[in-house]
Amino acid sequence: MAPHELAYCTPVTGQLYQHRHGARRQCVAMHFKRPVEWGETRLTVYPAGHVFGSAMLLAETRGRRMLYTGDFKLGPSATAETCELPKADTLVMESTWGDPRFRLPAREYVVAELLERVYKALAYNRTPVIHAYVLGKAQEVTKILTSAGVPVLQHPLTYAVSKIYQEHGCDLGDFQLYPGRPLPGHAVIVPPRQQKGYHIGGLTRTTTLAVTGWAIDAWGSRRWGVDHVLPLSDHADFDQLLEAIDQVDPEIVYCTHGPPTFVKHVRARGRRAVVLGEKEQLTLF
């Protein structure tokens, strides 16, 4: 999120944006599947399935349709709206997991392992501490745990975002601000170790976990510095990326935020595909 002069976004994204960059930042609210006229262009946002309120943008002008996905994920989520992919002539898509090795295990297996490790830690009178991104992943994990009967204590940075989720109707269950010490039977959710200010005091006997799609790589646990890393991702994996292209059925695909080699896999399926880097973006306009 950059400090723009004006932002068009969903209501929850607008409040999260102002939370990060100040309440004076001007926003124009866009609601899912309600078109907005912008000059000669019609703009419509669709649920992206990435985090609560995340959207992809459909731009229509002169009989042509372009879909810009931003970050997205197909499949279920505990907190994000279900992704919807409209048809488009041009598709500009993120391709974070655009390598065949990024085929993530089924969500239900990852959730089951998360709960098993949390229950086991609590059974041994240890505090399960889950490292998760402050926006999105932390709320997803909170809802998973509270729905399974495990109350959650949150780091102040995470708690501030969770309150915004609650205000916009995304109920996260039994969670509260970390009171400075662990409480029996509670899990604790904190930011990743790489984030400044992640540390909170009072934690001694802990089992530490991290939830990230990067867990699919062998170096995941070493990078995150925790006991266990679980591949719970908010991004479409390799197969979902290809599935999304088939659903949109575009004439051309521009791929960004992922391995450049992803375009080869798209072309092998008989579609035009281009890597959209900084140089290519500058030549388009």
**Among 107-111, 236-240, 273-277, whose mean pLDDT is lowest?**
273-277
Q: Using an 8 Å Cβ cutoff, are 134 and 191 in contact? A: yes
Q: Any bridge partners for residue 27, and if so which? A: 7
| Predicted confidence (pLDDT) at residue 285 exceeds the cutoff of 50 | no
The mean per-residue pLDDT over the stretch 45-74 comes to 97
What is the average pLDDT score of the chain?
93
| Predicted confidence (pLDDT) at residue 284 exceeds the cutoff of 50 | yes
Model pLDDT, residue 196: 79
Q: How confident is the model at residue 238 (pLDDT cuts 50, 70, 90)?
A: very high
Record the tokens describing residue 285, joined without a space. 């306009």
Domain boundaries, the chain: 31-101+235-284, 107-230
16 versus 214: which is more confidently predicted? Answer: 16
Q: Are strands 41-47 and 55-61 parallel, antiparallel or unpaired?
A: antiparallel
Task: Determine what percent of the chain is predicted with pLDDT higher than 90.
Answer: 85
Give the fold, CATH level 3, of 107-230.
Rossmann fold (3.40.50)
Helices marked H in 128-232:
137-147, 156-167, 220-224
The mean per-residue pLDDT over the stretch 59-88 comes to 96
The mean per-residue pLDDT over the stretch 211-225 comes to 77
CA distances (Å), origin 175, targets 9, 88, 160, 163, 228: 27, 41, 12, 10, 23
The mean per-residue pLDDT over the stretch 220-249 comes to 91
Q: Any bridge partners for residue 229, and if so which? A: 210
| Predicted confidence (pLDDT) at residue 215 exceeds the cutoff of 90 | no
- Residue (of 280, 271, 269) closest to 89 by Cα position: 271
Match 């969903």 to its residue by tokens. Answer: 10
Helix (H, G, I), strand (E, B) or coil at 20: helix
Q: With residue 253 as reference, give the H or E element that holds it.
A: strand 252-256
pLDDT tens track for 133-159:
999 999 999 999 999 999 999 999 999
Match 């390799």 to its residue by tokens. Answer: 238
Furthest-apart CA atoms within the chain: distance in Å: 64
pTM score: 0.93
Give the fold, CATH level 3, of 31-101+235-284.
Metallo-beta-lactamase; Chain A (3.60.15)
